[in-house]
């Protein structure tokens, strides 16, 4: 079984659930405020650990209580936190999240220390990996760091999975080094210019990304499941319907599930099914890391 090395952000999420997400300039009264650990990198590290992955997490936090708390919670999840760095000048990341009655969310991130995580911060030992190991990244850290890790990890034969969130256009040389990419519909449109809202358009966008040399393109499509494009495969992978309470971190749990299944040697179709099941459980619960399921629940 391979290891999973997650390199990405950690935030503290400030969440309010309300009937609906306010329009610009509008105030709505919501429910009770709650604070819980988040950040796409940390969410994926925690979700992978709970699904039995052997996880190392590299992130950058500030010298503050939020950073201390994030690190100690990650340790409690059994994650290797030796490579977590502290930034003396910037605060730990924060996210302001509104969730509506259908579980849809709206997020603004103040990345703080996350955006100073540079290639120089990453210890060489992190790259002491094998072909079985999986690197997992997102886009809440500088793109130059993502490019550096992807190049170094793929040169060693390790698999690199990118969850391209928040959405951003990406250079061809980065895409061609990826074992897998997991955009949602909006991110797939940003990457390809093709609006994605059904299996047909998802297939077109997935083909375009696949033609750039990505081995496995998986477009997550909420309640419909995920579209998978791989060598000899082009199909929807449906998911059992659930009642969504909060979709925050569903993409994180999906990507973590995919990484765990791949680290265990499962084939790509099996891995997407596994990831779908993990994500479906997570949307039935409030919060980011708080919603990530344990292996026994699958
Ligand atoms: O993917 C959900 C995450 O996005 C939240 O936990 C928030 O911190 C932002 O990073």
Ligand 1 site, residue 249, Cβ cutoff 6 A: yes
Residue nearest to atom 1 of ligand 1 (CA): 249
Structure tokens at 277: 């099941």
Specify the pairing of strand 55-58 against strand 33-38: unpaired
What the block records as the tokens of 164 is 């391209």
Does the Cβ of 140 fall within 6 Å of ligand 1? Answer: yes
| Ligand 1 pocket mutation, candidates 60, 109, 250, 282, criterion most atoms within 8 A of CB | 109
Distance CA 184, CA 189 (A): 9
* CB of 183 sitting under 6 A from ligand 1: no
Q: Does the bond joining 176 to the residue before it have cis omega, within 30 degrees of 0?
A: no
Answer yes or no: is the C-beta of 37 below 6 A from any ligand 1 atom: no
Cβ atoms of residues 18 and 28 within 8 Å: yes
Handedness of CA 279, 280, 283, 287 (dihedral sign): negative
Give per-residue pLDDT as tens, 11-69: 999 999 999 999 999 999 999 899 999 999 999 999 999 999 999 999 999 999 999 99
Residues marked active site are found at 252
Domains of the chain listed by start with CATH number: 3-9+40-86+117-293 (3.40.1190.20)
Tell me the per-residue pLDDT of 95-111, one tens digit each, with 9 for 90 and over: 999 999 998 899 999 99
Return the closest-CA partner of residue 230 out of 213, 217, 245: 217
Angle at 48 between CA 188 and CA 216, to 5 degrees: 35
- Taking only the tens place, the pLDDT of each residue in 183-219 is 999 999 999 999 999 999 999 999 999 999 999 999 9
CA of 247 to the centre of ligand 1 (A): 11
Contacts of 50 (CB under 8 A, 6+ apart): 77, 292, 293, 294, 295
Which 8-state DSSP code applies to residue 229?
A: E
The 10s digit of each residue's pLDDT in 74-88 is: 999 999 999 999 999
């Amino acid at each position: 079984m391979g290891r999973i090395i997650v390199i990405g952000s950690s935030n503290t999420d400030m969440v309010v659930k309300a009937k609906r997400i306010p329009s610009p300039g509008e105030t709505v009264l919501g429910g009770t405020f709650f604070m819980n650990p988040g950040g796409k990198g940390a969410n994926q590290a925690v979700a992978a650990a709970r699904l039995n992955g052997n996880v190392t997490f590299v992130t950058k936090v500030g010298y503050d209580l939020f950073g201390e708390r994030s690190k100690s919670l990650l340790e409690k999840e059994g994650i290797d936190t030796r490579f977590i760095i502290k930034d003396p000048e910037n605060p730990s990341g924060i996210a302001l999240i509104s969730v509506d009655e259908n579980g849809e969310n709206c997020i603004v991130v103040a990345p703080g220390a996350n955006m100073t995580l540079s290639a120089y911060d990453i210890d060489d030992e992190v790259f002491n990996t094998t072909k079985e190991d999986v690197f997992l990244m997102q886009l809440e850290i500088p793109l130059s760091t993502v490019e550096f890790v992807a190049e170094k990890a793929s040169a060693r034969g390790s698999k690199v999975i990118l969850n391209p969130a928040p959405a951003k256009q990406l250079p061809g040389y980065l895409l061609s080094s990826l074992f897998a990419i997991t955009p949602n519909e909006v991110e797939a449109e940003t990457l390809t210019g093709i609006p994605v809202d059904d299996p047909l358009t998802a297939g077109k966008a997935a083909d375009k990304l696949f033609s750039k040399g990505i081995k496995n393109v998986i477009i997550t499509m909420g309640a419909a499941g995920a579209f998978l494009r791989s060598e000899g495969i082009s199909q929807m992978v449906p998911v059992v319907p659930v009642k969504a309470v909060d979709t925050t971190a569903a993409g994180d749990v999906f990507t973590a599930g995919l990484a765990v299944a791949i680290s265990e040697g499962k084939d790509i179709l099996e891995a997407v099914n596994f990831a779908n099941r993990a994500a479906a459980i997570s949307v039935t619960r409030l919060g980011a890391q708080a919603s990530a399921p344990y292996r026994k629940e699958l």
